Amino acid sequence: MTRRALLASLLATPLASAFASPRAGAEAQPAAWPDRPIRMVVPFAAGTTTDILGRIAAAAISKGLGQPVVVDNRTGAGGTVGTAAVAQAAPDGYTLLCGTSGTMATNPLIMPGIPYDPVKGFVPIVSFSRTPVVLAVRPALGVASLAELLAMACKRSVSVGTAGTGTTGHLTTALIELRTGVPLTHAPYRDGARAVTDLLNGTLDSMVYHPLGFLPHIRSGALRPLATTGEKRHFLLPEVPTLVESGLAGAIVEGWWGVFAPAGTPAPVVHRVNALVNASLADPATKAELERQGMETMGGTPEQLAAYLQAEIARQKEVVEAAKITAD
Exposure of 1 by Cβ count < 10 A (0-12 exposed, 13-18 middle, 19+ buried)? exposed
CATH of the domain at 275: 3.40.190.150
**H-type alpha helices, 77-157:** 80-87, 101, 107-110, 146-153
**Structurally, how many domains does the chain consist of?**
2
* Judgement on whether residues 109 and 149 belong to the same structural domain of the protein: no
Domain boundary among 228, 244, 276: 228
* Judgement on whether residues 92 and 117 belong to the same structural domain of the protein: yes
Which residues fall within 8 angstroms of residue 5, CB to CB, at 6 or more apart? none
* Judgement on whether residues 126 and 266 belong to the same structural domain of the protein: yes
* Judgement on whether residues 309 and 223 belong to the same structural domain of the protein: no
* Judgement on whether residues 190 and 47 belong to the same structural domain of the protein: no
pLDDT string in tens for the chain (328-residue length): 333 343 333 333 333 333 333 344 344 444 589 999 999 999 999 988 999 999 999 999 999 999 999 999 999 999 999 999 999 999 999 999 999 999 999 999 999 899 999 999 999 999 999 999 999 999 999 999 999 999 999 999 999 999 999 999 999 999 999 999 999 999 999 888 999 999 999 999 999 999 989 999 999 999 999 999 999 999 999 999 999 999 999 999 999 999 999 999 999 999 999 999 999 999 999 999 999 989 999 999 999 999 999 999 999 999 999 999 998 6
* Judgement on whether residues 119 and 150 belong to the same structural domain of the protein: no
Is the previous residue joined to 34 through a cis bond, with omega within 30 degrees of 0?
yes
| Residue 3 within any structural domain of the chain | no
* Judgement on whether residues 120 and 176 belong to the same structural domain of the protein: no
Amino acid at 299: G
- Domain of 121 in residue numbering reads as 36-131+254-323
| Residue 248 within any structural domain of the chain | no
Map residue 306 onto helix, strand or coil. helix
| CA distances to 114, 147, 151, 219 from 180, in Å | 32, 10, 11, 29
Map residue 68 onto helix, strand or coil. coil
pTM, whole model, 2 decimals? 0.86
| Residue 183 within any structural domain of the chain | yes
CATH of the domain at 174: 3.40.190.10
